[in-house]
Amino acid sequence: MSELRVRALRGATTLEVDEREHLLERTEEVMSAIFARNGLTEDDLISIVFTATADIHSAFPAEAARVAGFTHVPLMCARELEIDGGVKRCIRLLIHAYTDRPAADLRHVYLHEARQLRTDLPE
């Protein structure tokens, strides 16, 4: 039997427009992809930190996790650094979870225009 370890997973997505429903859809999409690619469930989670660029005002990205039913997981939102040339309307996630997978087997997920942040990763 493998030993469970605390691991961190990264992900990001972008919005076409800063609208609440679109933000919830895109955030749920990237979360679902991270969970599916890494075999995670809510019970595996320790916490999720979300960041959003300064051009996002319609909703907190953590709201998408609450809407999806993640009611017992600590969530936090923060503002992403404003860097010249940075990706616009970008939401990033840092998920802390228990898993028996080695770090090298974890699959980070970058969707839509956020793919440019990690061109070294397979889709």
Based on the residue annotation, tell me whether 28 is a catalytic residue of this protein: no
Catalytic residue among 7, 26, 80, 89: 80
Based on the residue annotation, tell me whether 98 is a catalytic residue of this protein: no
Based on the residue annotation, tell me whether 20 is a catalytic residue of this protein: no
Based on the residue annotation, tell me whether 66 is a catalytic residue of this protein: yes
Based on the residue annotation, tell me whether 92 is a catalytic residue of this protein: yes
Closest Cα partner for 80 from 114, 50, 111, 113?
A: 50
Based on the residue annotation, tell me whether 10 is a catalytic residue of this protein: yes
Catalytic residue among 3, 10, 16, 42: 10
Rounded Cα gap, residues 28 and 13, in angstroms: 10
Buried b (16+ CB within 10 A) or exposed e, 92-103: bbbbbbebebee
Rounded Cα gap, residues 73 and 49, in angstroms: 11
Catalytic residue among 101, 107, 115, 118: 118
Catalytic residue among 3, 25, 77, 115: 77
Based on the residue annotation, tell me whether 5 is a catalytic residue of this protein: no
Catalytic residues: 10, 66, 77, 80, 92, 110, 118
